[in-house]
Amino acid sequence: MTPRALLSLLANGTKAMDVVRTALDLGLLDALEAEAADVATLSAKFEVVPGRLYKLLDCLESLGLVRGEAIGDDFTLTRYLAVPGLRDAAVAVAGPGSLELDRDRYPWRSLHGNLPEVLRGTVSMPESAFAWPPSAAQLEGFESSMAAGLAPFVTTFADHAPTLWGAPGLRLLDVGGGNGTLAAELLGHAPSLVVDVYNLPEAEPLVARTRAERPHGDRLGFVGGDFLGEPLPGGYDAMSFVRVLHDWPIPTARMLLRKAYQALPVGGRVLICEEFRTPERLAAQFFWSYFLMGVDACVSRLYAISHYERLLQGSGFADITVLPGPVELIVATKSTSEETRVSR
Ligand SMILES: C[S@@+](CC[C@H](N)C(=O)[O-])C[C@H]1O[C@@H](n2cnc3c(N)ncnc32)[C@H](O)[C@@H]1O
């Protein structure tokens, strides 16, 4: 798509989403993904006016979401076919669990129209609206919003549960573990695992609520602390950083991995899972890239897997493997003691 075409579509973004939502609600996307169909057939099936449906389908074609093939002069014979995955994508973006709609509730309008001032540093996101880390008052809403986007992470962990948690009685510390939703999901796939969520002390009631709502009892624990100012606690076989490291400057991420290394026993594992940089994930990250221009304390940058492989090696970890999934999971092992590492 040329810049001119893309910008033209973006300028009509609200209308474009109206078209997508309507096509989804009508059932048109299901029909178009199942097989190519012409305007006459579709308009009869959905009881709509052919000359109007044709224009809606052209809107979808201009968005690159369907392909049309004209047959002769009669526009009702034009056949359309959806690009694969369109319906699921429309449900993800416009349906009830939409992350885009969730993010739209954040106070981005404080920046809108003021980007020159934002870039010069004279306008920022008011801390009362969004602070990083979130204030005690903001934490509940933020953690729920994060939990709403956990599905692909849960799938990856679930797919690899036998490999990750096969040994009995393992203890995991989920560092920056939100309101404990991910921890509870992990427990559902690993009967003898114990998971403690490490988060700011204000998050304790949120994790307590998750514990009360889920059937895992004391297997879901909480450790309050500030990972910037304190060492990470010992006593765990593994530590996970899910959507945590990319929020911080690289030296801070390196420091957190060093703290994990120091706290883990030899043979202990660190797990990193976040949206590693791809064009598609960068598109989904657009909201945060925009919103966080006004929040200097939060970096929120997507990195390639190789970036973390370097950080892990530099922090002393070995046996780095990347497990596939909707989001990849990097697993690395502490293979020597801190003393041995330092003396080398
Ligand atoms: C982007 S959220 C990710 C939450 C969760 N892991 C998930 O993927 O849904 C970052 C997490 O780090 C926590 N966090 C931020 N600063 C922290 C700090 N200094 N010490 C401990 N946790 C912190 C936040 O409260 C939040 O739970």
Residue 77 lies in domain: 3-94
Is 16:63 a contact under the CB 8 Å cutoff?
yes
Pocket test for ligand 1, best of 199, 228, 248 (most atoms within 8 A of CB): 199
The pLDDT assigned to 343 comes to 72
Q: Tell me how long the chain is.
A: 344
Q: What is the pLDDT along the chain (344 residues), one digit of tens a residue?
A: 899 999 999 999 999 999 999 999 999 999 999 999 999 999 999 999 999 999 999 999 999 999 999 998 999 999 999 999 999 999 999 999 999 999 999 999 999 999 999 999 999 999 999 999 999 999 999 999 999 999 999 999 999 999 999 999 999 999 999 999 999 999 999 999 999 999 999 999 999 999 999 999 999 999 999 999 999 999 999 999 999 999 999 999 999 999 999 999 999 999 999 999 999 999 999 999 999 999 999 999 999 999 999 999 999 999 999 999 999 999 999 998 877 777 76
* Dist. CA 343 → ligand 1 center (Å): 33
**Claim to verify: residue 144 and residue 78 sit in the same structural domain:** no
Q: For ligand 1, say whether the CB of 246 is within 6 Å of any of its atoms.
A: no
- Calpha distance 188→177 (Å, rounded): 16
* Dist. CA 52 → ligand 1 center (Å): 49
Contact partners, residue 137, CB within 8 Å, separation at least 6 = none
**Claim to verify: residue 40 and residue 159 sit in the same structural domain:** no
* Dist. CA 256 → ligand 1 center (Å): 12
The H or E element that residue 34 is part of is helix 28-34
The pLDDT assigned to 339 comes to 76
Tally of domains within the chain: 2
C-alpha distances in Å from residue 103, one per residue of 94, 110, 258, 268, 287 = 12, 14, 32, 36, 7
**Claim to verify: residue 134 and residue 259 sit in the same structural domain:** yes
Contact partners, residue 253, CB within 8 Å, separation at least 6 = 245, 246, 311
Considering only CA atoms, which of 274, 331, 327 is closest in space to residue 299? 274
The pLDDT assigned to 344 comes to 67
* Dist. CA 244 → ligand 1 center (Å): 6
Ligand 1 atom at shortest distance from the alpha carbon of 241: 6
The pLDDT assigned to 92 comes to 95
| Count of helices and strands (H, E) across the chain | 18, 10
Question: Residue 273 is encoded by which pair of tokens?
Answer: 């899972």
**Claim to verify: residue 116 and residue 201 sit in the same structural domain:** yes
Q: For ligand 1, say whether the CB of 227 is within 6 Å of any of its atoms.
A: yes
Residue after which a domain boundary falls, among 41, 60, 94: 94
Q: In terms of DSSP bridges, do strands 171-175 and 220-224 run parallel, antiparallel, or are they unpaired?
A: unpaired
Q: For ligand 1, say whether the CB of 222 is within 6 Å of any of its atoms.
A: no
pTM comes to 0.92
**Claim to verify: residue 74 and residue 175 sit in the same structural domain:** no
Q: What is the CATH number of the domain that holds 78?
A: 1.10.10.10
Q: 82 pairs with which residues across the strands?
A: 66
Q: For ligand 1, say whether the CB of 178 is within 6 Å of any of its atoms.
A: yes
